[in-house]
Structure formats: C-alpha cells, structure tokens
Amino acid sequence: MAADERVLRGSSFGGAAAAYAEHRPDYAQDAVRWALAPAPGPRVLDLGAGTGKLTATLVALGADVTAVEPDPAMLAELHQLLPDVRAMAGSAEAIPLPDASVDAIVAGQALHWFDMAVAGPEMARVLVPGGILAGLWNVNDDRVDWVAELEQISEGSASLTFTDWNAHSADVRLASMDLPGLFCPPDRAEFPHGLRRTAESLLATIATHSRLLVMDDAARTVLLGRIGDYLARSPETSAGEFTLPMLTGVLRARRR
C-alpha cells in the first residue's frame, strides 16, 4: 500500500484497542516455536506488540520477553492483560533498547506496517549476530468454501487469506525482509490454526481490521451489515459456535 495509507491504517488500531484485545486471534504455538528455534538465546523482543496477543504466547513458551508498542491505547491494554511483562513505548523505526540486546525479534501482524528502510537497520542494531527476525501473520484458510465466500462478501476486509498469502503477499513481505548486508534470505512456513467463534464474535473481529477502522461510519455499517447477513444465513456459521479455519504464516530471517 502507499506510504500515506500505511501510516493512516497502521495508526488506526488504538481507537479499537479493547475490541482488538478481546477478539483478535492468538498464534499457533508451533509457528512461534519454529520462528524462535534458531535463536541463539531466550531474549525476545515483541515489536509492534499491540495488546499482547503474540506476547502471551511467547511468555507461555518460556521466552524472556520485552514488548514494544507505539500506540498508547494498545500498550495500556497490554499492561493490563500482562502486567508482569516488560513493555514500553517505541516503534520499529526507533527501538528503545541497547545494541545487541536481544536474541530474536518477532512481529505479529505488524511487520507490514514498518518502514523497512529505517526499521531494518534498527532491528539489526538491537539483534545479536546470528539473531532471528520473524514476522507472523494469521491468515484465513479460503481453500474452505464458506471462508472464500466470506472473503468475497467482505471485499477483502475479513482478513488476509491463504490464497493471497500464497500467491504474492508472502513473497512481497519476504522481499521487504531481504535487506542486503543485514539479514540472510528469509525462510517461510505455514502452520494450521483455528479460532472458535460465533457469528457475532467473528463480525466483531472483522470490525477491528484497519480497512474498516478507517472507513466512514456509513460505509462501515453497510459492509458489516452485509457480512452479518451472510454469517446469519450460512449453515457453517449460523448455528452457534464454529471453528474459523486459519493458518499462521511465518517469515524468518537470520541477522548476518
């Protein structure tokens, strides 16, 4: 996306911080383990940590976590939900940590918001040599028919889909991580994931995506109404709880 749109959408989440914390999915633990597996030590920076969705998984896996988040409202939710985690204000372009102070950097649903021309050298600065940079994204599995139809009805607002990820999105994001002289060429992997939802909670999740957050009220109401109508009539989503089929996609690069 264009730089001005990236800034607008990337800064839109604070107004929905509580809903983000409640409704956004966590990450497949196998994906997080794979992301961290080559790291030379336990010190992990969760960069663009948001409300702590990925932070909580890192803590559960025993990592020594520092969380950095630029949005005050998102950071406040993280402090409330994970009061024992070291968390501070900062951004990928200005990380408030010393040189060579972490063994891995992870970014959950966040790396695409970074200005990589600035953030790349900054992330390399705080990583030890041989340290790991990993981006993780939850993607809806639109190889399942009803998920593909949801994608069409939502006009691409429901989530990044596996088709988009597999066709070009992963390659674009891989290219952004391939910073000559700083990181080795990245690896890629996907891990099955699932999210228990009702029609109401899935609609609330979709409402936290940046494309909807920056819409005018009338357009957002119309789009959410159309999505809600589909979820109410689809047999897969209309009869109570269901599992939204997902994958966690991971891109992982080693600092030179």
Q: Tell me the C-alpha distance between 148 and 146, whole Å.
A: 5
Does the pLDDT at position 239 exceed 80? Answer: yes
Residue 54 burial (10 A CB sphere; 0-12, 13-18, 19+)? buried
In a domain, 206, yes or no: no
| C-beta of residue 227 within 8 angstroms of C-beta of residue 200 | no
- Band of residue 11 on the pLDDT scale cut at 50, 70, 90: confident
In a domain, 170, yes or no: yes
How much is the average pLDDT of 84-110?
A: 97
Structure confidence at residue 6 (pLDDT): 67
Q: Which domain holds residue 22?
A: 3-141+160-196+245-254
Does the pLDDT at position 243 exceed 80? Answer: yes
How much is the average pLDDT of 44-61?
A: 97
The number of folded domains in the chain is: 1
Please, what is the average pLDDT of the chain?
Answer: 93
Does the pLDDT at position 2 exceed 80? Answer: no
pLDDT digit string, tens, across residues 112-157: 889 999 999 999 999 999 999 999 999 999 999 999 999 999 988 8
In a domain, 83, yes or no: yes
Residue 149 burial (10 A CB sphere; 0-12, 13-18, 19+)? middle
Give the residue among 203, 95, 220 at the shortest CA–CA distance from 150. Answer: 203
Structure confidence at residue 62 (pLDDT): 97
Q: Tell me the C-alpha distance between 31 and 136, whole Å.
A: 8
Structure confidence at residue 157 (pLDDT): 83
| C-beta of residue 23 within 8 angstroms of C-beta of residue 208 | yes
CATH number for position 127:
3.40.50.150
pLDDT digit string, tens, across residues 202-231: 999 999 988 889 889 999 999 999 999 999
Count of CA atoms in the C-beta half-sphere (13 A) of 131: 22
Does the pLDDT at position 197 exceed 80? Answer: yes
Structure confidence at residue 10 (pLDDT): 66
Q: Tell me the C-alpha distance between 32 and 134, whole Å.
A: 9
Structure confidence at residue 63 (pLDDT): 97
Tell me the C-alpha to C-alpha distance, in Å, between residue 190 and each of 5, 39, 223: 28, 19, 30
In a domain, 150, yes or no: no
In a domain, 116, yes or no: yes
In a domain, 16, yes or no: yes
Q: Tell me the C-alpha distance between 231 and 223, whole Å.
A: 13
In a domain, 43, yes or no: yes
Does the pLDDT at position 158 exceed 80? Answer: no
| C-beta of residue 192 within 8 angstroms of C-beta of residue 27 | no
Backbone angles phi, psi at 94, to 5 degrees: -150, 85
SS (HEC) of the chain: CCHHHHHHHHCCHHHHHHHHHHHCCCCCHHHHHHHHCCCCCCEEEEECCCCCHHHHHHHHCCCEEEEEECCHHHHHHHHHHCCCCEEEECECCECCCCCCCEEEEEEECCHHHCCHHHHHHHHHHHEEEEEEEEEEEEEECCCCHHHHHHHHHCCCCCCCEHHHHHHHHHHHHHHHHCCCCCECCCEEEEEEEEEEECHHHHHHHHCCCHHHHCCCHHHHHHHHHHHHHHHHHCCCCCCCCEEEEEEEEEEEEEEC
In a domain, 229, yes or no: no
Structure confidence at residue 50 (pLDDT): 96
pLDDT digit string, tens, across residues 159-185: 889 999 988 777 778 777 877 789 998
Q: Structure pTM?
A: 0.92
| C-beta of residue 64 within 8 angstroms of C-beta of residue 42 | yes
